[in-house]
Structure 1
Amino acid sequence: MSRILFNAKTWLFVLLVGMASTVWAQSDDFTTWTKFKVNHKIDSRFSVSGDLELRTKEDMSRMDRWGLTVGGVYHAYSFLNFGVGYETHFRNLGDSDWKLRHRYHISAVASFRYQWLKVSLRERFQQTFDLGDSETRLRSRLKLAYAPTKGIVSPYFSLEIYQSLDDASFWRAARMRYRPGVEFDLAKRWSLDAFYCYQYESSRGKHIAGIEVVYSF
């Protein structure tokens, strides 16, 4: 237990340092992401989910978007699952102007565990529709997590790369996300994910402080 607490404190320190770095990164934006998610396990292979998300922007001075997502997962094997989802975003364009955009995604996640280390690779194809325009991307995410068989705290780090499938070169990363965080099992059905994420884009980077609350039944 003491080792678990030590790891949790270490990762929380990393989160605080990352958020404090916004003081020196004046050209980057500081934002927050807050999500509430509900998971329902239908049987041993199928589960469905829905979540509501709020994001801010411009150093938390303005709302960025509201998002609603519904989806499902098929657990083909213990190490492999497939998922589909639909998202709608209500985005703030500034000057009291808001608009809707829609997105669907298809994903596959492969994972394995070695002692306390859990490794997962997710490949996600997504297409977004915005006022008649569309954007197609492939998102590749590698996640490493400290996941003991017994314990309520699981620190992790993930790296995600966005690649354009439109006119840009395939191997050109349109966006990258570096995300350390800590997952907590709060109760039998409740869990919490607290994280810091740095999102790199050529136009402007983002420092993101996030909280995700999950209810499973």
Structure 2
Amino acid sequence: MHMFKRLAAMATILASVLPVTAQSEGGMVLSAEAEKKIDKNLSVNLEAGMRTRNDFKTMDRWSLGVGAEYKLTSWLKADAGYVLLDDNNREKTTYKASGAENKWRPSYWSIKHRVYASLTGAYKFSNNIKLSLRERWQYTYRPETTTQRWDYDEDEWEEKVMNGKAKSVLRSRLGISYDNKHSLLAPYANVELFNAWGIEKVRYTVGTDIRLGKQHTLTAFYRFQDMKNVSADDYEPNMHYLGIGYKFKF
């Protein structure tokens, strides 16, 4: 009962700081992860994921990643990894000064390569409440790709070369959780800022892990993604996500 009260309290606090938005979409996040412990400090993992948008109707992303985590001290750990992303880029229409349509580029898929490195510090109180702070640097590269767009003046399709693009982002995540190893549920909430010479987006997440044994863990969460300052090529509306994940340890 106390655990459910803590989860409700965290959800209430999170909801109180969420901005109100009229233009947003809904999506689903699904993930599956396998983790292998090498020794008491080192572990490696393999993770696959998918994401939808457009109120759950459109596939948005597939991903496959590999990483490693090392426990530096009792309260500090480091991790690093690589993720292969296959993104469904949104369609885009350009307009003339008169307001007439100029060119239309339909949605297209493109590969991205991402590497990251993180440090996470955590402190656990005697009542099993844990506070954590993660600082993650990530570098993402999108190779050059060619797609098509419709030219309204010429009334025909033309090739459009999307130049290669690289981007570095600092992700800062502050979290609170109820960490009792003997409990079935482990509720949590966190706020994460994406900083690339300015805050681009903020993610608010509340959810719970569900421990099904020493090897199996489910997670379920709600996430609100508040978009801030993002270039037109990277445009995303504010998003409401429902997420489900599965983790297997061996």
TM over 0.5: yes
TM-score for both structures, normalised by structure 2:
0.75
Residue 97 of structure 1 pairs with residue 108 of structure 2: yes
Determine which structure has more spread, i.e. the larger CA radius of gyration. Answer: 2
Distance 1:150 1:187 in 2: 10
> Equivalent residue for 2:150?
none
Alignment equivalent of 1:129, drawn from 141, 146, 149:
141
> Equivalent residue for 2:189?
157
Q: Give runs of aligned pairs for residues 28-47 of structure 1, distance below 5 A.
A: 28-47=24-43
> Equivalent residue for 2:177?
145
Alignment equivalent of 2:119, drawn from 108, 115, 125:
108
Distance 1:97 1:49 in 2: 30
TM-score for both structures, normalised by structure 1:
0.86
Offset of residue 193 of structure 1: 1.1
Residue 174 of structure 1 pairs with residue 206 of structure 2: no
Which consecutive unaligned segments of at least 5 residues does structure 1 have? none
- After the TM superposition, list the runs of 4 or more consecutive aligned residues in structure 1 that deviate by more than 3 angstroms: 5-8
Alignment equivalent of 1:204, drawn from 237, 243, 249:
237
> Equivalent residue for 2:2?
3
Residue 213 of structure 1 pairs with residue 246 of structure 2: yes
Distance 1:44 1:176 in 2: 34
Residue 192 of structure 1 pairs with residue 188 of structure 2: no
Distance 1:38 1:155 in 2: 21
Offset of residue 25 of structure 1: 5.1
Offset of residue 148 of structure 1: 2.6
Identity of aligned residues (%): 29
Q: Secondary structure at the match of 1:197?
A: strand
Offset of residue 36 of structure 1: 0.3
Offset of residue 96 of structure 1: 6.6
Query: Does the 8 A contact of 1:11 with 1:181 survive in 2?
Result: no
Q: Secondary structure at the match of 1:4?
A: helix
Q: Deviations over 1:60-99 (max 9, x none)?
A: 1110010001000111111111111101111113557311
Which consecutive unaligned segments of at least 5 residues does structure 2 have? 91-105, 144-163, 229-235
